[in-house]
Chains A and B, each alone.
Chain A
Amino acid sequence: MKRFWWFLIPLLVFAVLVFFLAKGLTKDPSYVPSPLVGKPAPTFDLPQLQDPKQRFAPEDLKGRVWLLNVWASWCVSCRAEHPVLIDFARTHPDVPLIGLDYKDQRPDALAWLKQHGNPYVLSAFDTDGRVGIDYGVYGVPETYVIDQAGIIRYKHVGPLTTEVVNKLIDPMLKGLK
């Protein structure tokens, strides 16, 4: 009987190891948790993409729940995400979707929106990427949910999918209202 237990120990160790390795496989190694969640959204004041004379600052949307979506015309995943954003803008008229055009050229960005459609209420034009650094952007596209008090509630790295919108963002927006 005693021998039997001894034999079980390596098996247990092996099971634990398999559990952690399997868990590791399901995780995205490029995902870096953001320290900004739960903190006030960094402030900025940038010209708008479509009309450089007009500016946008996050304070403009104080009192409202809104989404900040970091995108660029050179970003391939943004192309994949785009239909989801168009759909989001159509189904969520009460949640302003603001773009942050990150390290882009104005003509390229404008042509991109013209070709694929513009889901954004407006896009702020961050040509040198400095605002991106304040937001901890390290891989476009990224999406931030910002609440009435201007606090970042959620950050999504990588393209939004319908699943993410339905399972994560929608319940969060409901909770914030």
Chain B
Amino acid sequence: MKGLIKYLVALVLVTSSGVYAAEALPLAQNPVVETRLNAISENLRCLVCQNESLAGSRADLAEDLRREVRHLIESGRSDKEIIDFLVSRYGDYVLYDPPFKSSTLLLWVGPFLLLTGGLVGLVLFLRRRSRQGLVDEEDVPPMQANAAPVVPVPRGTGRWLVWLIMVLIPLGGGLVYLNVGNVAALNPANVKPAPDPNVMVARLQAKLDANPDDPAGWQLLARAYMVMNRPEDAVKAFSHIQPEIKKQPPLMADYAEALAAAGDLKGAQIWINNALKQGSQDPKVLFLAGGLAFEGANYKLAIQYWERVIKIVGPDSQEGKFVQENMAEAKARLK
């Protein structure tokens, strides 16, 4: 159902004559921007409430900074540029993963120094003890008359246990760090909170261009383009898998959505008609059919289709509410 929501948002974007078209999509609703914003701000510290990340903080300054990061994403800056923007103003302090340099040397190396010191101390201490015998005479509590005799610990076992602990503790610490920590942050060049979606999509495109016989790949690429608000590229991607689309009405709806978003309402209508002819009950097909009818000023038909959508998705679901809003608009137009 998540796909439907995304698609609904996209459709609202492209309905050129609809009421919604008058206002630009609020920044907060652009899923690509929000995903990147979250990924970036998760790794940054809020300066006001220092134990919270920039993503989680409700402090006024955090909201301002998120707004600023959102603008930077919108203006096409890379994650690194955005992080540099904040570091140049607030210092390395905003990074939860500080880079490895002279001022953070103690931070990174300190724990290992302490660990080494502790281990060396432990070894020296144990060696001394084992030279004196495993248990000092003073350490043994005075025997009581009727107490069970103390079972002597064999020397070998004790020593093995010590070595085992000495290996296990650093090993365990290392494993915990590998899971919880971020080793890559040692090198500031590696600090990339999230892979840039533009780069990922470009890679996928190149891969598919070289090896076009991959319907699932093209489908993924087309969907990514739709989320990124690049419907023309989505249409191009879909055009590689026309035979698959013809077999699956939900795919037809995806394709029609891309066509409509790219401005080809006629093409979208053809595919939606195809899907309807096959008796599709896919809510997306029905919603698009309604949307196209709405575009053609056939509000009655639009309402009929949308009512069917609501029957499928339920009036109280997020999608249902959205469709109801559109229906109210269509009804208003009817009068």
* Residue B174 lies at the interface, judged by CB distance under 8 Å to chain A: no
Which positions 139-172 of chain A face chain B at CB distance < 8 Å? 139
Contact status A32-B47, CB under 8 Å: yes
Which positions 93-151 of chain A face chain B at CB distance < 8 Å? 103, 128-130, 132-139
Which positions 87-107 of chain B face chain A at CB distance < 8 Å? 87-93
B91 contacts across to A, CB distance below 8 A: 32-35, 136
Best-buried of B87, B88, B121 by chain A (most CB within 10 Å): B88
Of A35, A129, A139, which is within 8 A of B89 by CB?
Answer: A35
Q: Which residue of B lies closest to A32 (CB)?
A: B93
Which positions 12-63 of chain A face chain B at CB distance < 8 Å? 29-30, 32-36
Of A34, A36, A103, A133, which is within 8 A of B68 by CB?
Answer: A133
Contact status B61-A138, CB under 8 Å: yes
B92 contacts across to A, CB distance below 8 A: 35
Contact status A133-B64, CB under 8 Å: yes
A128 contacts across to B, CB distance below 8 A: 64
Q: Which residue of B lies closest to A29 (CB)?
A: B50
Of B47, B60, B90, which is within 8 A of A35 by CB?
Answer: B90
Per the bound structure, the CA–CA distance linking A32 and B93 in Å amounts to: 7
Per the bound structure, the CA–CA distance linking A134 and B93 in Å amounts to: 16
Best-buried of A29, A33, A34, A138 by chain B (most CB within 10 Å): A138
Per the bound structure, the CA–CA distance linking A138 and B54 in Å amounts to: 13
* Residue B220 lies at the interface, judged by CB distance under 8 Å to chain A: no
Q: Which residue of A lies closest to B90 (CB)?
A: A136
Which positions 117-140 of chain B face chain A at CB distance < 8 Å? 121
A35 contacts across to B, CB distance below 8 A: 87-92
9 A-B pairs, CB-CB below 8 angstroms? A32-B93, A35-B89, A36-B89, A103-B60, A128-B64, A129-B61, A133-B64, A133-B65, A136-B91
Interface residues of B (CB under 8 A from A): 47-48, 50, 60-61, 64-65, 68, 87-93, 121
- If A34-B91, A103-B60 are given as contacts, then 17 extra A-B residue pairs at C-beta distance below 8 Å, sorted by A number, are A29-B50, A32-B47, A32-B91, A32-B93, A34-B90, A35-B89, A36-B89, A129-B61, A133-B64, A133-B65, A133-B68, A135-B89, A137-B61, A138-B47, A138-B48, A138-B61, A139-B48
